[in-house]
Amino acid sequence: MPHDHHHHHHVDPDAGDLRVAAAIGVNVLLTVAQIIGGLVSGSLALIADAIHNLSDAASLVIAVVARRIARRPADPSMTFGYARAEVVAALINYTTLVVIGLWIGAEAIGRFFAPEPVVGWIVVIVAGIALVVDLATALLTWAMAKDSVNIRAAFLHNLADAAGSVGVILAGSLVLLFGWTWVDPVVTLMIAAYILWMSFNEMPGVIRILMLGTPPDMAPDEVIETLRGVPGLRDVHHAHLWQMSEHRASLEAHLVIEEGHWPRADAIKAEAKVRLSERFGIGHATLEIECARHACDHVKVFGAA
């Protein structure tokens, strides 16, 4: 089964940074407007949306800083390079989303026991402006989100905020039409639930990279069988397959060369690397060769013990 996870369309880094900077600017302005509107109208849903929107701006700042760090080349202190800075940034952003979701949910529950009046027309106007800005921000980062778990986390911040704005508009409209102030905390709870669902859905993939897990779109047994298919190669063990970053998979393994094929050992290793690159996109492979007569005994295929 062919894999194409190593083929990606990248946005120019400088152009991408400008997009993110523009998104940060409009989100900061929007947050100020939403907080003022929420305080004046008495809408918890609008204030919750504003706090989430502030987290959008923060997430974008974290994302752009991580992008710049990730572009630094490897050095003696970071021999693998800095690409994982983006993965760390994504985890930070998803964690903040979880905290925000829990806080918003707790505040909404409190409103059920201590309801406050809501000025519906202010809520609808401010939330309508917020929705336009959220969608514009999402569009600015949409192309980059396809190739970066870091930008995708920031993008999902904005997508969740857009959904929140729709909910706030609905709540404000129902308050205007029917005086249903209870809709405000209900919508707030829905926003919180959506934020939590989205965050818990995305976090496992980020944690998998940080925990040196195998690439999710790659079958480890299939990688080993592909190596075993190289002529002159008897077996493979002591294999470690992991993601160095979101789009770079790596492998280290011991290759056991058949007896009588040792003169071709370097050629066999070279063929193994070609197959890894062409079939799985593994461009970084560290392969140690062993003669079958002196190969390691009682060693598992995966892992060191």
Contact yes or no for 52/100 (Cβ under 8 A): yes
Contact yes or no for 49/165 (Cβ under 8 A): yes
More confidently predicted of 215 and 38: 215
Q: Which residues contact 264 (CB under 8 A, 6 or more apart)?
A: 232, 257
Alpha helices, H only, the chain: 13-41, 44-70, 85-113, 120-145, 149-178, 183-210, 220-228, 265-275
Q: Which residues contact 198 (CB under 8 A, 6 or more apart)?
A: 97, 156, 159, 160
pLDDT band for 141, please (50, 70, 90 cuts).
confident
Contact yes or no for 27/57 (Cβ under 8 A): yes
pLDDT, position 211: 92
pLDDT, position 219: 92
Contact yes or no for 268/256 (Cβ under 8 A): no
Look up residue 75 and give its DSSP letter: B
More confidently predicted of 96 and 130: 96
pLDDT band for 270, please (50, 70, 90 cuts).
very high
Residue with tokens 């996109």: 281
C-alpha 4/C-alpha 179 separation (Å) is: 55
pLDDT, position 119: 65
C-alpha 43/C-alpha 56 separation (Å) is: 20
pLDDT, position 13: 59
The alpha carbon of 89 is separated from its chain's Cα centroid by a whole number of angstroms, namely 9
More confidently predicted of 215 and 4: 215
Q: Is the pLDDT of residue 213 over 60?
A: yes
C-alpha 29/C-alpha 40 separation (Å) is: 17
C-alpha 20/C-alpha 63 separation (Å) is: 8
Write out pLDDT tens, residues 14-42: 556 777 777 787 778 777 887 887 788 77
Query: Domains of the chain, with CATH numbers?
Result: 13-210 (1.20.1510.10), 220-294 (3.30.70.1350)
Q: Tell me whether residue 106 is exposed, middle or buried, using C-beta atoms within 10 angstroms of its C-beta: 0 to 12, 13 to 18, 19 or more.
A: exposed
Residue 286: strand pairing partners: 252
